[in-house]
Amino acid sequence: QQQVKQSPQSLIVQKGGISIINCAYENTAFDYFPWYQQFPGKGPALLIAIRPDVSEKKEGRFTISFNKSAKQFSLHIMDSQPGDSATYFCAVPVRGNNRLAFGKGNQVVVIP
C-alpha cells in the first residue's frame, strides 16, 4: 500500500507571503507527481505536476520542487493571495496498477 504523507496539515499565511507544503512518499511507479487544488464545495482540480527528470517546475506563482533521492516533493505558492485559500492534495502513482494514491491534504488559508 502506497504511503503518501503531507505536511503541515494546515497553514496560515499572510497575503503576499510564501506558502510551502510538502509531500513524502514511499514507492512509486511511473514518474508523474501532481498537486491538486480543491476549493470548498468543488471537486479537486489539477494545479501543477512534475516529472522527475527535472528538479523544479514553475507555473506562474506556483512551483514544484522535487527531490527524488529523498522521495519528497513540495509546492511553493509565491505572493500568496486570499484566492489561493484551498485544500491542496499531492498524489503519487501506485506501483503495479497505474493509478494515483492521494495524501490527506493541506489546508492553506491566506489572510488579507
Partner 1 sequence: DADVTQTPRNRITKTGKRIMLECSQTKGHDRMYWYRQDPGLGLQLIYYSFDVKDINKGEISDGYSVSRQAQAKFSLSLESAIPNQTALYFCATSDLKASGNLYFGPGTRLTVL
How far apart are CB 2 and partner 1 at their closest, in Å? 10
What is the distance between the alpha carbons of residues 96 and 27, in angstroms, rounded to a whole number? 11
Residue with cell 504523507: 5
Which region among 17-25, 55-63, 77-85, 98-106 touches partner 1 (by CB under 8 A)? 98-106
Q: Which is nearer to partner 1, 42 or 54 (CB)?
A: 42
Closest approach, Cβ 99 to partner 1, in A, equals 6
Interacting residues with partner 1 (CB under 8 A): 1, 9, 30, 32, 34, 36, 41-46, 49, 89, 91, 93, 97-105
